[in-house]
Each structure stands twice: as structure tokens, then as C-alpha cells.
Chain A
Amino acid sequence: MAAPLAELEVTTAPPPPRARRSYTPYLLLLPGLAWLVVFFVVPMVALASQSLQTGDPESGYVQTWHFQTYLDALSQFWPQFVRSIVFAGAATFLTLLLAYPLAYFMAQKAGRWKNFLLVLVIAPFFTSFLIRTLAWQIILTDNGPVAGLARTTHFSDLLQWLQLTSNDSLMNSRFAVIAGLTYNFLPFMILPLYASLERLDHRLVEAAGDLYATPIKTFWRVTWPLSLPGVVGGTLLTFIPAAGDFINSRLLGNTQTVMIGQVIDSEFLRIQDYSTAAALSFMLMLVIVVIVAFYVRRAGTEELV
């Protein structure tokens, strides 16, 4: 069917008007990426390099590839490291436990109230978390109603038995720190979960019921797997900052609850042992990256952002 006309008039078309290799994306990226490279990548390199130097602020630092710093820092501060990971892990788990019902309720059952609830969840997130954490001091204070309730229900005895509190006080305890961490990162868990659950087609749940699944079975086999992207997103957004946090531990804890973030902070700003501080920072970064990579690999989501 190709007409003979084609043989007379066919010419190779000139290159397409808009070249594939356009400069637009690079121009758009340049300022932002430059900022990231200069103020994120370079400092990280500086941090790594600093961790291998010896000296002090007065007499200056020399690059000596002093790996011993790492070993010293680790042997001195490994309890705080472990504690940070444990606290962060506990807080993440608790956050997931608490956030899921709320996110599910908002996504599937709230109907007209959905947006109102969303506002109530987001608004606290925008207010100063320092002030809110201070408020926890008031809430958990020994003479307050919460402490009283815990005593009468013997909840505080349970906590004491779990070694989460010291001398019957809810404040200045492990319990308070974990509770604070959980509280602070709740919105970070709720929002990704909500986003994931909102996209859940309710008809799938109905179909499961139609196929003889009990509510619990339906949850485990249908709802939970489909909400995994949100779970992964939320746990990452919670665990990573929680591991490095020290505000909660400072305001709500005691000398037994010191987290690695506090150590880094004091090494940098009080003791001014920059090398050790840098080494600790870097190790924290590394631990987190390893845990995250492992976790993401297992959970199977490639597109995190």
C-alpha cells in the first residue's frame, strides 16, 4: 500500500526541534543540588575527615588517620549507642501500634470527619515540640492526676517491675523518655499510614469477607500487606530521627537514660573533643544506614521518596 509518491519526496527529517539532551533539567537542578552538595555532602566528608584527626581547638587539628578514635569512642559510649537504638526501636514499635488504629479509622471509617481529624493530627505537629515536651513534664509529674491514676491501677508497679521507672516516679524515667519519643513522632507515623490506607479499596475488604475471612484474618492478609508502603515510610520517618534525638531524654529522663545524641552534643559543644564527636556522629549515621538498608530490603519498597 505504500504509494510510489514516497520514493520521490522522502527526505530524512531534520533532527527533532527540541533536542533530547535539553539543558532545562540541569539548569533547574543546579542551585538546589549545589546547595545540597556544598552544605550536606561536603560537611559529611569534613565530618569523616575530622573524625580521623587529632588535636584540640586551641592548637589546631592534624589529619593523622587516627582510627583509634573510633575504637575509643565505641568502647566508651557503646551503652548509649545501644540504648538509643533500643529506645528508638521501642518508640517506633509503640508509635506504629498507636498510629495504626487512628490512621485506619481516619482513612476508612471517618467519612465526613476525615478532614477535621486530619487537621487535628497535623496542627500539633506545627507547634513547638519543645514546648509540648515540656508539657509532658507537667502531665507526668508525681503529684498530677496521671501519676495518681497509675498508682491506683498499679500500672506504676508494672513499670517498676519492667525497670522502666525509678522509685515510683513516672517522670525522669525510661518510661517518660519512651513515652515522649512515641508522642513526638506520632504524626510522622500517622500521615504515611493514612496516605497508604486511604488508597485501600474497601471493596477488597468486603471481598475477603465474602470469601469467608474473619475480621482478623482479613486484616492480616489483606489490609496489612496493602498498607506496607505506609508502614515502611512511617517507621523510617520515626526511627531515624528518634535514634539521634536527645531532647526527650534530656527533658524527661535521667542520667541513666542518656542517648547517643546527647553524647555527641556535649562532645561537640562542651567538651569540644571534635574528633571523638565526629567519630560518634559518623558511626551513628552508619548504623542507621545499615539498619535502614536492611529493613528496606526486607520490606521491599524501592521508591521511598
Chain B
Amino acid sequence: MRWLRSHLVAIAALAVLAYLLLPNLVVIVFSLNKPRGTYNYKWEQFSTDAWTNPCGTPGICDAVGLSLRIGLIATLVATILGTMVAFAIGRHRFWGRASTNLLIFLPMATPEVVMGSSLLTLFIAMGIAPGTIPILIAHILFCLSFVVVTVKARIASLDPRLEQAAADLFANPFQTFVRVTLPLVAPGIAAGALLAFSLSFDDYIITNFNASPSSITFPMYVWGAAQRGTPVQINVIGTVMFLTALILVAGGQLISNRRARQTV
């Protein structure tokens, strides 16, 4: 009984962790299922068919491809723009700094339906047809704020005396930036980019508002499948995403651990 009480927090914590990971487990397990009908709800029998034929269902790989392309471009643009903004806010005092902070925060505080519908309204008014371009624009938009916040946090933890030391050692502002600032902020930028990519790849609501039948992203495909019939390949992709995320995040942690041991 005493053991239970003193470990209460640990038990609760691990229970929550299990709750968090349960669906992922189900996804992995059911990727090895061979359902009888079009829906993948009941466990029938073990089969690796879906894994050997991941693109078997029509449209799924096109959707993944489109999501990847949009994700990469949106990440690139959002990371560049967001990093610039983060440096401006984090490193300079300028008129309008507080309002800029607010403006960056607002998209994160806006529910996706509101953001998606407002963009749709804009595009209708401008006469732009729904499709890949509007989706891309929307993704860059909501990724921007998250990149700014992530990079800004990293910049804030940067010791300004390091840049002073670089100037003291004959580095002009450009050299200081390239040789000292950027390498030290890089982990934050990487984290921001990773966050942006996952937000973009996973987005359904905003994408749905701005998509056309010819621009089906992976989340849209899954949604459609939920109505029509869930092929097992969806679980395969889901499992791959989970494992990739595990590897990337674990790798990132290892790198930052090594770096932490080197920080002054």
C-alpha cells in the first residue's frame, strides 16, 4: 500500500503515457490486418499484404506525394520567413514590436475553421480557384507563427556576449552571423522546420476549405476513406509516419544532448 502511495505519480504518469500511445499501437497492429470488407475495424487475420503493396489502393500514393511536396515547400518558405521575423523581434528594438508579437500570436489563437473559412472568403473575392496554390499559401501562413515562436525561444537563450566576443575578434557583422549566431541558433531553426512540416503534412481542416478534387492531400484522402472504406494501406502510412517521427525526434534529442555537454 505504501509502495502504491509513494509511486502514485509514476503510476498515473505511465497510465497517461499508455493512453497517449494506445492509438498508435492500434494503428501499427491493424496495418497487419486483412479485413474482410472495405472497413478495417475488426481484426481478421495477420497479413503483410498492405506492407508489400503500400500503393495498392488507387490515389493513396498520389495523395502522400502531394502532401510531401506541399509540406516541403511550405516548410522551406515558412522557415525562411519565420526565422527572419524571429531575428527581427528577438534581436532588435523597434517601433511596433509589441503589435508584431501580437500579430504573430493571433494565427495560433485562431481556430482552424475560422482561418480556413477566412482564406476561402479571400480567394473567392479575389477570384482564385481552390487548388494546390491556395493550399500552399494557407500552409505557409499557419506554419509561420510556429516557426517564429520556436526560433525566437532559441535566440532568447543565446548569450549576446558571444557575438560581442566575435566582433572583438575582428569579425564583421556578416561573419559574426555566419560563424557564431547561425550555428548556435540552428537547432531552433531545425525544430521550427520540423514542427512546420508536421503541421503541414497533417492538416485537414484548412486544407479542406481550399482544396479542389484534383488536389487531394493525404489527410483529405484519409477523411474520404473514412466515409467510403478504410484501406489497410492507410495504417501502413500511419505506422511509417510514426516510426519516422520516432527516429527523427530521438535523433534530434541525441544531437542536442551531445551539444548540451559542450555548452559553456
**Interface of A with B (CB < 8 Å)?**
22, 24-26, 28-29, 31-33, 35-37, 39-44, 46-47, 50, 98-99, 101-102, 104-106, 109, 115, 117-139, 141, 143, 183, 186-187, 236-237, 240-241, 243-247, 251, 260-261, 264-265, 268-269, 274, 277-278, 281-282, 284-285, 288-289, 292, 304-305
A115-B257, A120-B17, A123-B242 known; A274 vs B92 contact (CB < 8 Å): no
B121 touches A130 (CB 8 A): no
Q: Looking across the interface, which residue of chain A has its beta carbon closest to that of B198?
A: A126
Cβ-defined contact, B119 with A285, below 8 A: no
A36–B238 touching, CB < 8 Å: no
Q: A-facing mask of B132-145, CB < 8 A → 1, else 0?
A: 00000110110010
Assembled-state Cα–Cα distance A44/B124 (Å):
13
Interchain CB contact under 8 A, B94 and A26: yes
A residues less than 8 Å from B198 (CB atoms): 125-126
The 6 closest A-B pairs by CB, nearest first: A244-B111, A105-B13, A126-B245, A43-B118, A25-B92, A101-B12
The distance in angstroms between the C-alpha atoms of A101 and B194, with both chains bound, is: 27
Q: Is the CB of B222 within 8 A of A134?
A: yes
B219 contacts A139, C-beta separation under 8 Å: no
**A117 proximity list for chain B (CB < 8 A):** 17
Some 28 contacts from A to B, beta carbons below 8 A apart, are: A25-B92, A28-B92, A31-B81, A35-B144, A40-B115, A40-B141, A43-B121, A44-B118, A47-B118, A104-B9, A124-B20, A126-B194, A126-B198, A126-B202, A127-B27, A128-B201, A132-B24, A135-B22, A135-B23, A135-B27, A136-B23, A141-B42, A246-B113, A261-B111, A269-B209, A278-B121, A305-B101, A305-B149
Residues of B within 8 A of A (CB): 9-10, 12-14, 16-17, 19-24, 26-27, 30, 40-42, 81-82, 84-85, 87-89, 91-92, 94, 100-101, 103-115, 117-122, 124-125, 137-138, 140-141, 144, 148-149, 152, 194, 198, 201-202, 204-205, 208-209, 218-219, 222-223, 226, 230, 234-235, 237-238, 241-242, 245-246, 248-250, 253, 257
